[in-house]
Amino acid sequence: MRTADRGEGAVSYIAVILLIAGIAAAVTLSGVGDTVAGGIEAGICKVAGRTGCAEPAAHEGQQPNPPSQQEWGNRNTDPDKPPPKPTDAETRKGKEAADKVRKYLDSDCAWYQFFGCDKPQSPKDVLSGMSPGEINALFAELSDDEIRRLLKEDGVVGVLKVRADASLLHHLERVAPKSIDPDFTDVRDHGKKPSNPATDYGTVPNGQLFGTTGEPSLTDINQGGIGDCWWLASMGALSQTPAGREQIKNMIRQNPNGTYTVTFPDGEKVTVTPYFPIDKNGSLSYASPAGQPPVVWPLVLEKALAAKRGSYGKLVSGDGGDGMKILTGKSGESKNPKNVSQEQLQKWLDSGAGVTLLTPDSDKVGGKPIYEGPSSRLHADHVYVVKGITKDGKVELYNPWGYDHATITMEEFHKYFEDVDMNPIK
């Protein structure tokens, strides 16, 4: 090779490195995250001929590990009770971690990473190696502004949701609203449910995931002040069958710190805290627990889908077919009730399928006594669970409100409903 060629190659080589470094800096500063930027930086390291280059970080979708039993110790999981005060050793670790977090937040190392700058340890990695007590000590060292900046960093909230005390998570939500819990301020009016009553997040004292029986039940379904009857009815439809109950139980895992990780059939995992929307009087605003002790699995699934979609407002309006598909990962059938016979309906129920029934919009039911007046038995634009068929051929419906249920004839089934959805579940 000629000398001139070698010179041109060196110039091109440096230009490529500068270009990639610029891209890495832009990616980091844009907030895209460590996962992408880390991969670019690892590539720069190898192109530059350096040894010991770090491999790109794991994909952000991977779930952080909850604390081990040894790390959690005898800490209380009751969100209404404060955690123990950090020990001296935990306080020292917390202060060390706070220094690392500040170093990272104040670092502009990405601009010259390829020259050999050692980027500070990411907050996600710092937190992943800390015990709950150490995490409490860390946040005691940080200002509210530092907390808000920290919670925006990749993977931080995910680690905290499985490793931090629930009471700390509630405090962080107050410092940085919508960082830990899904937004509820966008809930709009829908049907006969009242306008959005939620003002804050609160706990369910003595709440249990599945109650004393350890099984989901249709009577656990009690819709609150949000128009998500389609989602609650879908849960209710699954809870009626052995396969559906097993599906619900397999979806929800309670973590050592009292949070819940919900695994949807599409593979997405969503972790939610044991705090749920409440109104100004402290009562639950949306799905409400039934029985004693209070059963909270419907509240957990309602909150998990709100988190998955981005807010509680995005739960308003839907149909049972969509809801059951979200829960099972399987497609079902949607038919006009006029085209479903009693024999077909019974066959679906006998097979262990979930079945829901949708009424028409309010502008389509005017003047019909079954919807209006003192003898009304149905509600417009509402999804019911089909419980079964009586011996005299009537269809029993469960209202996800938890009351005002209905029993209808097959003639009424064909005449007054808009859509019937079936999901095979298994």
The SS3 call for residue 365 is coil
The SS3 call for residue 141 is helix
Burial class, 10, CB count within 10 angstroms (exposed 0-12 / middle 13-18 / buried 19+): exposed
Q: How many CA atoms lie within 13 A of 303 on its CB side?
A: 29
Whole-angstrom distance, CA of residue 109 vs CA of residue 115: 10
Whole-angstrom distance, CA of residue 367 vs CA of residue 81: 54
Question: Per the residue annotation, which of 170, 190, 379, 382 is the catalytic one?
Answer: 382
Residue of 270, 266, 269, 195 whose CA lies nearest to 226: 195
Catalytic status, residue 117: no
Supply 167's token pair.
């009471």
Return all residues near 46 (Cβ < 8 A) that are at least 6 apart.
53
Supply 179's token pair.
């960082």
Residue of 375, 377, 373 whose CA lies nearest to 417: 377
Catalytic status, residue 65: no
Roughly how many angstroms between the first and final C-alpha of the chain, as a whole number? 67
Question: Per the residue annotation, which of 136, 170, 190, 229 is the catalytic one?
Answer: 229
Q: What's the CA dihedral at 222, 227, 228, 233 to 10 degrees?
A: 50
Please check whether residue 379 is in contact with residue 192, taking contact to mean a CB–CB distance below 8 angstroms.
Answer: yes
Question: Per the residue annotation, which of 136, 257, 399, 423 is the catalytic one?
Answer: 399
Catalytic status, residue 399: yes
Active site residues: 229, 382, 399
